[in-house]
């Protein structure tokens, strides 16, 4: 996914689905072996290998729980809405109101 994102062929998204307690949080993130830290490490390594280019990397984190979409980076709990962009030929999914946190390193 990281390579396709770097080529401009995809939007990098990690989606986990499963029952409570099935290991989603462990698989995605917390440890250095999780999907998110590994993907971000690849992304930042590519950035560091291209010092003349400008990069902007943003992180959003959401969960759908009991059919409610929650922005996990916004503790204030503003409302977010998920929709398809009618102008996009590929049916781009947009989440209005979600926090997009700029990040510059894995730390």
- Per-residue pLDDT reduced to its tens digit, 15-57: 788 888 888 877 887 666 888 888 899 999 999 999 898 888 8
State the pTM of this model.
0.74
Alpha-carbon distance of 8 to 80, in angstroms, equals 26
**Is the pLDDT reported for residue 104 higher than 70?**
yes
**Is the pLDDT reported for residue 76 higher than 80?**
no
Question: Averaged over 47-68, what is the pLDDT?
Answer: 87
Q: How many CB atoms lie within 10 A of CB 15?
A: 7
Alpha-carbon distance of 66 to 89, in angstroms, equals 31
């Amino acid at each position: 996914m990281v390579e396709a994102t770097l080529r401009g062929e995809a939007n990098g998204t990690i989606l986990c689905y499963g029952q409570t307690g099935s290991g989603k949080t462990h698989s995605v993130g917390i440890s250095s072996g999780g999907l998110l830290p590994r993907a971000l490490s690849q992304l930042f390594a590519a950035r560091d290998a291209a010092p003349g280019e400008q990069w902007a990397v943003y992180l959003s984190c959401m969960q759908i729980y009991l059919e409610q979409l929650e922005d996990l980076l916004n503790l204030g709990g503003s409302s977010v809405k998920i929709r398809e962009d009618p102008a996009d030929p590929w049916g781009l999914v947009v989440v209005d109101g979600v926090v997009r946190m700029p990040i510059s390193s894995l730390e």
